[in-house]
Amino acid sequence: MSQVDRILDKALNGGRLGLEEIVTLFESDEIEKMGAAADTIMKRFHPEPITTFVVGRNVNYSNICDTYCRFCAFYRPPGSPEGYVLPNETIFRKIQETVDVGGTEILMQGGTHPDLPFSYYLDLLREIKKRFPGITMHSFSPAEIRKMQQVSGGLTLEEVVRALHEAGLDSLPGGGAEILDDRTRLKISRLKGSWTDWMEVMKTAHRIGMNTTATMVIGFGESMEERALHLLRVREAQDECIANGYRSEGFLAFIPWTFQPDNTNLKREKATPEEYLKTLAISRIALDNIKNFQSSWVTMGPEIGKLSLRYGCNDFGSTMIEENVVSAAGTTHKVNISLILDLIRQAGKIPAQRNTRYEILKVYNETEGVSRDFVMQN
């Protein structure tokens, strides 16, 4: 039995993988073997042949940012004539358009804007919830929350997160994780803070009863050990949430994707679809305490998105009625609800619409379509 076979056999028999074992998998090119193991593990969490998706929209309230990440093509520095802050009415219109096609989730993110007061975010959340009480605000990244703490006038991190939660923030997406190791973080985003800064925001959210998601971006020139450390650090934080009995389910999902280098200040070759699928499979195998894994069709395209359902994914992610950050880096894949239904069915699965908590809202039968759809805006 080869070393890779022994490691996969250990995982399939319920053993936890350590750092060296995860690195060995990353260094291997036996992708199909890893995919098969990941698929088996996924089916233990999700024995029914259902693939879920959420109808949602990305709303980028501002592109002004003073973090200056080298890998980001979306931000504009303070004072740029191309910088903007969306009027509240524009945000409300975008949310209404989402609700009109059966949408349930808004992923609202911007940059780390130095001049927006903390009250801006609280007031905006309250106004959104007043107008759209049924919408789930799965919004803001840890970097944005750290900026809110800076401008809050002395509030602790927990006080900031609690205030946002009380104002209407339901759930925290895992953006900005990139690679949870400081060597790579300093190279690509010197001002964004350490990996522990990111993780402490997530742990704080868990502690006060909020769910979150975790992400990982490969292709920055990081080492295989750094990728493995990323997975272990996410797993340890999830262990902590479970062990402490918080009212949160912790990281509801894990979403890996690949760096998109076009139009950025960080020149790298794009990671291949094979590298993405391998990373996805290893993540599912190593993260034995996270139930849901989300496909990244936004960066990889619908066909690789479909293939990811055989490499550990049980979820097709968000319809993303609007997406601006990845498309700013020259990657634009457009899908609507009808195409998502088709892609899931082509993969031999049954499509089902879910909410942000991964509760199924509607299962689509073999021939059923949608009465209200959209054209992706970006």
Model pLDDT, residue 97: 93
What does the block give as tokens for 317? 């992610």
| 290: helix, strand or coil | coil
Inform me whether the pLDDT recorded for 213 exceeds 70. yes
Cα–Cα nearest to 180, from 196, 203, 200, 204: 196
Q: How confident is the model at residue 334 (pLDDT cuts 50, 70, 90)?
A: low
Query: Mean pLDDT across the chain, nearest whole number?
Result: 92
- Flag whether pLDDT at 263 surpasses 50: yes
Sequence-ordered list of residues with C-beta below 8 angstroms from that of 31, at least 6 positions apart, any chain = 274, 277, 278, 281
Distance CA 56, CA 123 (A): 22
pLDDT at 325: 54
Q: Which of 264, 281, 161, 258 is nearest to 211 (CA)?
A: 161
| pLDDT reported for residue 68 | 85
Entry pTM: 0.94
Choose among 103, 32, 46: nearest CA to 370.
103
Residue 88 CB coordination number (10 Å):
15
Superfamily of domain 3-357: Aldolase class I (3.20.20.70)
Question: How many Cβ atoms from other residues are within 10 Å of residue 87's Cβ?
Answer: 10
Residue 27 has pLDDT above 60, yes or no: yes
Secondary structure E strands in the chain: 50-54, 56-59, 105-108, 136-137, 171-172, 211-218, 251-258, 292-293, 315-318, 350-354, 360-363
At 191 the pLDDT is: 79
Q: How many CB atoms lie within 10 A of CB 4?
A: 18
According to DSSP, residue 150 is labeled: H
Structure tokens at 128: 């959104």
At what angle are helices 195-207 and 142-150 packed, to 10 degrees? Answer: 90
Rounded distance between C-alpha atoms, residue 273 and residue 257, angstroms: 10
Q: Is 253 within 8 Å of 292 (Cβ atoms)?
A: yes
Question: In which band, very low, low, confident or very high, does the pLDDT at 71 lie, cut at 50, 70 and 90?
Answer: confident
Q: Find the farthest-apart pair of alpha carbons in the chain and give their distance in angstroms, rounded.
A: 62
Domain ranges of the chain: 3-357
Least confident of 108-117, 304-313, 324-333: 324-333
The whole-number average pLDDT for the span 154-170 is: 98
